C-alpha cells in the first residue's frame, strides 16, 4: 500500500496515461503483456532502475560487470556468468511456460525478454575465411563436421565464386518446431529457436524439415568435452547430449550480455552483424553501429529461401550479381 500511495502522489503531477487504458489499446497490448511480467514480483522502489537499459546489461551484478570489462575476449566466463545468473527452471521446458517458483525466479533475476535478436550478413564483405565457423566450433566444443555456422561456396550469376555463411535462420515460422513430436524445439521470448536436449528423442524429423540444413546431430559417444562447471542449457548446450540434435543458438547468452555472437565477433571482415529488431540496432565486430531497418532497407537485404515461408531472422546483403535463390538449386553435385 505504501507503494500505491506513493504512486498516487506522483500521479497527481498531471498525468493522463494510466496503465488500464494503455492496456486496453490493442497496439499496446503487447507492451502490457511484457511489462507486468517484468515488474510483477520485484522489490519495490526500483522502478527507475528496472526501466533503465543499462540495468539490463548489469543484470547479473558483479559477474556481468566483469564480463563487460573483459569484453568480447572472454569465452567460457561469460557463459558461466550467464548460466549462474539463470534460474534453474528458466523458460525452456518447451510449451509449458513458466510455472511455480521458476516464474518468480525468472521475474526477479532476468531482464525483460524484449530483445528480438536478428542477424545481418553482408555477403559483399565475406571472403570465406571460415573464422566464424572456427570461432563457433571452438566456443561450443563442436566436432569438425558440426558446422553450426557453415560457409558455403557458391557461384553467382556472373560465374564468380562467393561465400554464404549460414547460421540457423531463427525462423519466425520454424518448420523444425512444427514437426518436433515432443516440443523439444521451442522458440524463446527473444525469437531464438532452441533445442531442449534433455527432451529431444532424436527422431531427426527437424533435420528433415529444415530447408537450410542448419541442424546437426550428435551421432557418436566418443566426443570428448573438457570439464565444464555449468549445466548444459538450451542457450549453451555444452556438453551436448548423445543422440539428440543441436544447432546454432545465436549465442543468445552472449547477446543478453551485450556481447556479440561468437561468429560475429570472430569475423575479421565485419560481415556479420548482430541485431535487435526491437531497438532497431545492428552491430558488427568492427563496432559499426547501424540502424537495422534502415540498413536492411538501404542495402536491399533479403532472406534466404523466402518461398519456404519460414520468415528468417537472418538477412543477407547481396554483393554484385548474387542471387541466393537461383544459386540454391544449381548447387554443384
Partner 1 sequence: MKSLSRWLIAAVATIGSVLVVSGTAVAAAGQSSAVLDLAVQTVSANGVNLALSAQAGSGASGQSVTFFVQTQEFSSHGWMALGTSVTNSAGEATYTYTPTWTGTELFGAALGSSDAVATPSVTKSFQVLKDPPGVPQSVIEYSRPLGTEGGIFVKSILSVLALVWILLLGSLVLVVWRMPRLTRASVDTSQSGRN
Partner 2 sequence: MKETDINESALLNENGQRDAEQAWAADVRRAAIRPTIGRASVAWKLSVTVLGLVVLAGLGAWIYQFKRGLGAAGYNDQAFWAVYIVDVVTFIGVSYGGAVISAILRLTGQSWRAPLTRLAEGTALVTVLIGALFIFPHLGRPERFWEIPIYVNTSSPLFWDFMAISTYVLATVIFFYLPLVPDMAIVNKTLGRADRPARFRIYKALSLKWMGNERQRRLLHSVLTLISLIIIPLAVSVHSVLSWAFATTSRPGWMESVFPPYFVIAALYSGTALVIVVASAFRKGYRLERFITKRHFVRLGYIMAALGLVYAYLTIADLLSEGYTGITSGWIRQTIAGRYAIPFWFYVVFGEVLPIALVAVKKTRNIKGMTVASVGVVIALWVKRIVIVLPPVTQPLIGGFWGTYHFTWVSITITVAGVAAIPFGLMLLFRFLPVLSIDEMEEMGELGSVEQVSKETLAVQKQAPAYAYANGNGHVNGNGVGMPEKEVQL
Between 119 and 255, name the residue whose CB sits nearer to partner 2: 119
Q: Pairing state of beta strands 314-317 and 117-122?
A: parallel
Q: How many residues bind partner 1 (CB under 8 A)?
A: 72
DSSP string, 81-100: HHHHHS-TT-S-SGGG---H
- Fill in the per-residue mask, 78 to 117: x = in contact with partner 1 (CB under 8 A), - = not in contact: -----------------------------------xxxx-
Which stretch of DSSP H or E encloses residue 282?
strand 281-284
DSSP code for 306: G
Between 13 and 226, name the residue whose CB sits nearer to partner 1: 13
Selected from 51, 201, 208, 326, the binder of partner 1 by CB under 8 A is: 51
DSSP code for 289: E
Between 147 and 261, name the residue whose CB sits nearer to partner 1: 261
Closest approach of Cβ 205 to partner 1, in Å? Answer: 13
Q: Which residues bind partner 2 (CB under 8 A)?
A: 94-95, 145-146, 152-154, 164, 166, 175, 178-183, 199-205, 207-209, 211-213, 215-222, 241-245, 308, 327-329, 331-333
Residue 201 Cα distances to 44, 70, 183, 206, 241, angstroms: 44, 38, 10, 11, 11
Closest approach of Cβ 128 to partner 1, in Å? Answer: 25
Does position 281 interact with partner 1 (CB under 8 A)? The reply is yes
Does position 262 interact with partner 1 (CB under 8 A)? The reply is no
Whether the CB-CB separation of 117 and 170 falls below 8 Å is answered with yes
Residue 166 Cα distances to 3, 57, 91, 257, angstroms: 50, 28, 27, 23
Between 217 and 295, name the residue whose CB sits nearer to partner 2: 217
Closest approach of Cβ 24 to partner 2, in Å? Answer: 33
CA angle 30, 35, 37 (to 5 degrees): 105
Does position 279 interact with partner 1 (CB under 8 A)? The reply is yes
Amino acid at each position: 500500500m505504501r507503494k500505491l500511495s506513493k504512486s498516487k502522489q506522483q500521479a497527481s503531477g498531471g498525468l493522463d496515461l494510466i496503465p488500464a487504458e494503455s492496456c486496453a489499446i490493442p497496439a499496446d497490448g503487447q507492451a502490457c503483456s511484457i511489462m507486468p511480467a517484468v515488474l510483477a514480483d520485484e522489490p519495490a522502489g526500483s522502478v527507475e532502475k528496472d526501466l533503465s537499459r543499462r540495468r539490463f546489461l548489469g543484470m547479473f551484478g558483479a559477474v556481468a560487470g566483469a564480463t563487460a570489462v573483459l569484453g568480447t575476449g572472454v569465452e567460457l566466463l561469460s557463459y558461466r556468468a550467464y548460466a549462474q545468473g539463470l534460474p534453474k527452471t528458466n523458460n525452456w521446458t518447451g510449451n509449458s511456460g513458466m510455472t511455480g517458483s521458476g516464474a518468480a525466479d525468472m521475474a526477479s533475476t532476468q531482464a525483460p525478454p524484449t530483445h528480438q535478436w536478428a542477424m545481418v550478413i553482408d555477403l559483399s564483405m565475406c571472403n570465406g575465411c571460415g573464422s566464424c565457423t572456427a570461432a563457433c566450433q571452438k566456443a561450443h566444443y563442436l566436432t569438425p563436421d558440426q558446422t553450426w555456422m557453415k560457409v558455403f561456396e557458391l557461384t553467382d550469376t556472373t560465374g564468380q565464386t562467393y561465400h554464404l555463411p549460414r547460421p540457423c535462420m531463427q525462423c519466425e515460422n520454424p518448420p523444425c518446431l512444427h514437426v518436433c513430436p515432443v516440443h523439444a524445439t521451442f522458440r524463446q521470448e527473444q525469437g531464438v529457436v532452441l533445442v531442449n536436449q534433455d527432451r529431444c528423442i532424436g527422431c531427426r524429423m527437424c533435420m528433415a524439415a529444415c530447408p537450410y540444413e542448419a541442424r546437426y546431430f550428435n551421432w557418436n559417444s566418443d566426443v570428448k568435452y573438457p570439464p565444464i562447471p555449468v549445466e548444459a542449457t538450451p542457450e549453451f548446450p555444452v556438453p551436448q547430449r548423445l543422440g539428440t540434435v543441436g544447432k546454432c543458438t545465436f549465442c543468445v547468452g552472449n547477446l543478453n550480455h551485450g556481447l556479440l555472437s561468437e561468429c560475429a565477433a570472430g569475423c575479421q571482415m565485419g560481415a556479420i552483424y548482430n541485431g535487435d529488431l526491437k531497438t532497431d540496432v545492428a552491430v558488427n565486430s568492427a563496432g559499426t553501429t547501424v540502424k537495422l531497418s534502415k540498413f536492411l532497407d538501404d542495402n536491399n537485404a533479403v532472406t534466404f529461401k523466402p518461398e519456404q515461408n519460414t520468415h528468417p531472422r537472418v538477412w543477407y546483403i547481396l554483393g554484385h550479381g548474387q542471387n541466393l535463390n537461383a544459386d540454391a538449386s544449381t548447387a554443384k553435385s
